[in-house]
Structure 1
Amino acid sequence: MTPADLNPVREHIASRIIGQQKFVDSMLVCLLSDGHLLVEGMPGLAKTTAVKSLAEAVEGDFHRIQFTPDLLPSDLIGTDIYRHEKGEFEFRQGPLFHNVLLADEVNRAPAKVQSALLEAMAEHQITVGQRTYPLPKLFMVLATQNPVEQEGTYHLPEAQLDRFLMQAVVTYPTRDEELKILELDGQQQQQSYAPPAKPLTQAELFAMRRAVSNLYLDPKLHSYIVDLVQATRNPKLYDPDLARWCRFGASPRASIALARCARARAWLDGDEFVAPHHIQLVAPEILRHRLLLTFEAEAEGITTDEFVNRLLNLVAIP
């Protein structure tokens, strides 16, 4: 399998949304890395449309669930139903048993519901009562959220945030892109919707994942990845300002994610090995939701992206 085999997926997504190339690349990196993606952006920026387009282009069951304040954990996991004819309880599967799950506006549900995703995202299984049920081999959660300052939202627990492989931020389109969006909307109103002619099969996707995992990553770059993550925990070794800005650094999951996503990024670029710039390209989306900044940093208007970019400039490349 080669990166060209993903072109039909790219083309289908491009037929539904305009621009947002970085966001599309993030979705593909997550897909190839067997991870979950958190997408943040203001309403109306085609977050849901992009995620649905990706799901349509990949073979498998797709389910969309709208997170609301009155959602219950059983609405995600499923529940035991009593069968009178059998005289026993039977488990009815919930939306988590689909291959691709779109958790729309995930931060509109309270923490009790959000925590129901933890075991599924981390271990590809769920537990109901005394029984554990495995999830499909292809299982990917793509969650969208509006910025937490908006009314009616809940901050995602740090434990759940760490389960997301990457966090993508969707920004407003440029003027030219917005003109093209108007043109595309007019075309879509006049034409019937056409699904992809041939979705990417799961066998093809798993072959791509094997190719990605076999891509060469030099031991020196292992050290570079660890140095980057360690620097988020000990920023005072690099810059006194960084030490003032960061309360908690990234966990070892960040090191694993950097290695996996750097391989996927290199494979998508058609390279035969991972280079430092591949690590630097994926670092902001891997670290931005795993860092907890101080109140001082927030008062100074420092964002996690600015913190990460400064670290990338300070940590030596081998």
Structure 2
Amino acid sequence: MAITERKPLLLDFEKPLAELASRIDQIRQLAEENGVDVSSQIKQLEARAMQLREEIFSSLSPFQRLQVARHPRRPSTLDYIQSISDEWMELHGDRNGFDDPALVGGIGRLGGQPVVMLGQQKGRDTKDNIARNFGMAAPSGYRKALRLMEHANKFGMPILTFIDTPGALATVAAENQGAGEAIAYNLREMFCLDVPIICTVIGEASSGGALGIGIGDRLLMFEHAVYTVISPEGCAAILWKDAAKAPQAAVALKIISHDLKNLGIIDQILPEPTGGAHSDPLKAATTLKQALLENLDELRQLTSQERRQLRYDKFRKIGVFTEAAR
């Protein structure tokens, strides 16, 4: 199923926009009922609505951006894959007896070229979220991802990963099945793959669950997505014993795209439609496809050894700091 238009769910800071839109509809309806021409006034109000939307979304706090990244109507991994690919065939199973629905992947064509695409998949409603563990992959999910990446490496297909998870599945069963080992193994093996790897943060990317499919030559990130070592709520609960201080933690964690670009952690910010990716999913998908094709063209100019070195250098630089003399 490709991306389709859905009635949006309102976030708190979007309410003034909804109220203005409601007023415009009321004026238009009254004008039609009374045969009055108010087209010029309607245009002014619509221009004001667009201006207000741009003002709101250009000045969102980190915690508000987190709300946008978690929006239930935000395009998911499967939404993007099925919208940008020419062909798509989902593959299942980790070849060890499990198939994790929280992490999906398969073979497709992007711009006519074969690629392997995979990523975390959240649900659209409570029932779907429960079925997919809210996008929190079990160890079998990361083992399935590695199986698909090794397949891509064997047949020379670039790897595209889409990151959207609050973290890896944190249950006793997941720990018993080797959650830490599965993620760590993926980290090591992804550094060794010969084919181009492009990772894109499409929504909420948190903890090792995000990093488990996040080692690549290029790391792209949507404008209102977030990437963090721990959720702001979790950080606030640890530091201040108060999850209500999550907005303060969100600022300190530097979770937004512009901060991460300045820190050298991500390589490219993908602009979102005004109002977030959920306001115009098809436009967001077009932006993603163009960025992926451009980066793939650049990475194909490099040898496999150059790409591996690029990957290594990229992650060695993260966390480097200069200590000022006293």
Same fold (TM over 0.5): no
TM-score, normalised relative to structure 1: 0.32
For normalisation by structure 2, the TM-score amounts to 0.31
Instruction: With a CA cutoff of 8 Å and minimum separation of 6, indicate the structure with the bigger relative contact order.
Output: 1
